[in-house]
């Protein structure tokens, strides 16, 4: 199985601060990567797919980048509603696998 190593496990950001979350795949995944946001007690929401494509309706402060084995999610200007858990997921090979998650809190 492809292992997805996500970092950091948690972080705290101030209002308006730019935040980055990283995901490292155990092998190349050819940009078959998605990012999800999950708020407490809710279902995950797709933010980014194909490594850098913004899902419809997602604010433009969210962006994704990367290639090969290294990918990142950037939030340009932390907002209170961005407080959540974030997960990466590869869909390059079965079984699909997720990162362990990053807990983002507002400082």
Partner 1 sequence: EVQLQQSGPEVGRPGSSVKISCKASGYTFTDYVMNWVKQSPGQGLEWIGWIDPEYGSTDYAEKFKKKATLTADTSSNTAYIQLSSLTSEDTATYFCARPNYPGIPGWFAYWGQGTLVTVSS
Residue 93: how many other CB atoms lie within 10 Å? 14
Question: Binder to partner 1 among 22, 44, 61, 83 (CB under 8 A)?
Answer: 44
For residue 89, state whether it binds partner 1 (rule: CB under 8 A): yes
Q: Which is nearer to partner 1, 17 or 91 (CB)?
A: 91
Q: Which is nearer to partner 1, 36 or 62 (CB)?
A: 36
Cis peptide bond prior to 95, omega within 30° of 0: yes
Q: What is the DSSP letter of 82?
A: G
Question: Which value, to the nearest 10 degrees, does the dihedral of the CA atoms of residues 58, 16, 89, 85 take?
Answer: -100
For residue 20, state whether it binds partner 1 (rule: CB under 8 A): no
Q: Please state the closest distance from residue 91 (CB atom) to partner 1, in A.
A: 2
Burial per residue of 64-87, b for 16 or more beta-carbon CB atoms within 10 angstroms, e otherwise: bebeebebbbebeebeeebbbbbb
For residue 40, state whether it binds partner 1 (rule: CB under 8 A): no
Q: Which is nearer to partner 1, 14 or 94 (CB)?
A: 94
Contact set with partner 1 (CB under 8 A): 32, 34, 36, 43-46, 49-50, 55, 87, 89, 91, 94-101
């Amino acid at each position: 199985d492809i292992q997805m190593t996500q970092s950091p496990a948690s972080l705290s950001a101030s209002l308006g601060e730019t935040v980055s979350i990283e995901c490292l795949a155990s092998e190349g995944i050819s940009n078959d990567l998605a990012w999800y946001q999950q708020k407490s007690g809710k279902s995950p929401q797709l933010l980014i797919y194909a490594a850098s494509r913004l899902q419809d309706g997602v604010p433009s402060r969210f962006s994704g980048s990367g290639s090969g084995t290294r990918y990142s999610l950037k939030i340009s200007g932390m907002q209170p509603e961005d407080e959540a858990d974030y997960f990466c997921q590869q869909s390059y090979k079965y079984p699909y696998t997720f990162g362990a998650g990053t807990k983002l809190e507002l400082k």
